[in-house]
Structures are given as structure tokens and as C-alpha cells.
Amino acid sequence: MNTGIPIRQLSELTGVAATTLRAWERRYGLLSPQRTSKGHRLYSQDDIALVNAVVVQLQSGMSISEAVRRQRQPEKTQPQDAPVESSAKNQWLTFQRRLLHAIGRFDEARLDACYNEALSQYPFGLVSEALIIPTLTSLGEQWQQRPNGIAEEHFFTVYLRNKLGARLHHETSRKHGRRLLIACLPGELHEIGVLLFTIEALGHGYRILYLGANAPLAILSAVAQKIDAAAIVLSGTTVPLNAIETQWPELEKNHRPLFIGGQFSTQHAAWIKQHHATPLGSDTRKAIDTLLRISPPHQQATS
């Protein structure tokens, strides 16, 4: 009888998308799952540990090829070896140049090819951290120096919103974990950062109800109760605190965990803690770790 966990569960436990796991198996021979009679992959506890080890190495700056080599041939890795970072750094710089070139030409096909290639090799969170955010930063810093700078920034932002929105729509219906209510703070119109966080949360097994930009706080408690949300997650960048203070009392009556992320949570961390919420900051990886610790995607077993 076959035993093991399906690829969906391996994906949720490690935060690596199933498409990426299959690519690692196909391209690098990293995983050798059992197969059910119907051909479905089944993975072991050793596979979970292996994928987690690769993810740690990728986050430390290794390329996927080097991380896989070190896992498959640990005897060839000497203790005195310095971390292999240059190849990964060069690869991310190459990805960034390709993205910026495609954006400068308003070439969605090339943009799509580069984006999908990165996602086929690396976990979404790392693609977000090492490629998407640096590219957005570069566009934001250089738009005044380029004739079409504003149009390029809008082109890439709309592209990302469409891609992330489609992924959110597709993935939400396939999840079985506890539900999060996610929205932008009142007055917040920038969605890309919170969408990147939302997709990463989906990858860890949460179900999501996403309400988007400029959400009135007064409506959130009733919505959270209606969908039986495990927690409410809000995000903001330069929203003024006084725009939140007047609407906060109604939301504070909510008995679910409250989280606030983005630049707003860094600037007003003390206020957030005083008002019975948890600041998540702007680092998506750390924010996800905090969310997983306080409000995990699956109900904890009780004795």
C-alpha cells in the first residue's frame, strides 16, 4: 500500500509551489516520489526535509543548481567552502535585466517568459524578494530619467496585478486551510505589496478573501464573522495614522487576531501593539513567519 503525502501538502508544508516542485524533479532530479496506481506523486518526511533544506540554501543566496548539487552530493561540499552566492546573484541580475528590457519595449510576451522561467526554478517568495520588488524599485527610482518611465511603471504594475489576481483566483478555490480576510487600509491604493504577501500566504495553505484597496475598517468585523475568518490582515504604506484612528474602535471589537503589514506597520508599530494588533513590517518572509506562528493555516490538534 502506498503511503506518503500528496504534492499539494508538500507544497503547503514547504511554501514551494507544486509547479516548481515538479520542475525540480524534472530538471534536477531532486525528488523521486512514489506513485499511486493512478500516477499521483506521494512524498515522504525525508522529501519535506530535503525541500526545506534547499529553500534555506536558496534564501542564503545559492543558485538552485548549486543548492541541488550540495543536497545530492554532500560529500563534495567541504566545511571550509564559502557560500556560493555569485552565481545566484548574477542569475537574479540577469533576470532583472531581462524584465527591464521587456518592460522598456512594452513586450508582454518576453516579460511573461522571464517571469514564468523564474517561477519554474525558484519559490514564489524568493522570486518576489529577489526579482519583482527590485524591478519595481528600479522602475520607481528611474522613471524621471526615462522618456517613457511613467508608462513603463504602469505597464509592469498592471501586468503584475493581472498575474497575481489570476493566481489568487485560481489557487483560492483549491485550498482547505483556515481563512484570512486581507485588505488594504482606508486610503491605501497600492496593492502589489499586499498581493505578493497574499500569494505567499496561499502557498502555505491558507484560504483567502481579498478585498483589495481602500477598504473601510467598519465593514471588516462583520465580513470576518460571516466567512469565519481565522484572522484579519491589513496593509498600508503612507496612510496617515489619523485616517485609521477614527475607524479603529469598531474593528478593535473583533475577537480575531489582527495583523497590519507594510510601511505603515513599521512607522506605527507601537500604536498597533497598543491597539491589540500585531505589526508585520515590510519584509514578506518575516511577516509570513509571524502569521504562521500566531495563526497557523490549519487548526492545531488538541488533546
Task: Give the span between the Cα atoms of 265 and 261, in whole angstroms.
Answer: 5
pLDDT of residue 132: 96
Secondary-structure percent of the chain, ordered helix, strand, coil, rounded to 5: 60, 10, 30
How many helices (DSSP H) and strands (DSSP E) are in the chain? 16, 8
The residue behind cell 499511486 is: 36
CA angle (279 as vertex; 122, 153 as ends), nearest 5: 50
57 and 128 belong to one structural domain: no
- Domain with 219, as residue range(s), is 176-294
- Give pLDDT tens digits for 228-248: 999 999 999 989 999 899 889
The residues facing 160 across adjacent strands are none
pLDDT of residue 174: 63
Instruction: Tell me whether residue 80 is in a domain.
Output: no
275 and 183 belong to one structural domain: yes
Coil, strand or helix at 266: helix
113 and 67 belong to one structural domain: no
Domains contained in the chain, number = 3
46 and 134 belong to one structural domain: no
Q: For the domain that residue 58 is a member of, what is the CATH number?
A: 1.10.1660.10
Which among 141, 169, 197 is the end of a domain?
169
Long-range contacts of 7-11 (CB under 8 A, 24+ apart): 7/33, 7/40, 7/41, 7/43, 8/174, 9/43, 10/43, 10/47, 10/48, 10/51, 11/203
Q: Please measure the distance between the N-terminal and C-terminal CA atoms of the chain and give it in whole angstroms.
A: 29
Instruction: Tell me whether residue 81 is in a domain.
Output: no
pLDDT of residue 216: 92
The chain-wide mean pLDDT, for the chain, equals 88
- Give pLDDT tens digits for 55-87: 999 988 888 888 888 887 765 555 445 455 566
187 and 106 belong to one structural domain: no
Q: For the domain that residue 282 is a member of, what is the CATH number?
A: 3.40.50.280
The neighbour count for residue 220, using CB atoms within 10 Å, is 22
Which among 138, 169, 200 is the end of a domain?
169
290 and 226 belong to one structural domain: yes
Which among 126, 141, 169 is the end of a domain?
169
pLDDT of residue 243: 84
Asked if the model's pLDDT at residue 175 lies above 70, the reply is: no
195 and 147 belong to one structural domain: no
290 and 180 belong to one structural domain: yes
CA angle (182 as vertex; 254, 20 as ends), nearest 5: 140
195 and 267 belong to one structural domain: yes
195 and 141 belong to one structural domain: no
155 and 182 belong to one structural domain: no
By DSSP bridging, strand 5-6 and strand 41-43 are: antiparallel
Task: Give the span between the Cα atoms of 295 and 280, in whole angstroms.
Answer: 13
234: its cell numbers? 491589513
pLDDT of residue 142: 78
Instruction: Tell me whether residue 261 is in a domain.
Output: yes
Instruction: Tell me whether residue 58 is in a domain.
Output: yes
184 and 284 belong to one structural domain: yes
Instruction: Tell me whether residue 303 is in a domain.
Output: no
Instruction: Tell me whether residue 299 is in a domain.
Output: no
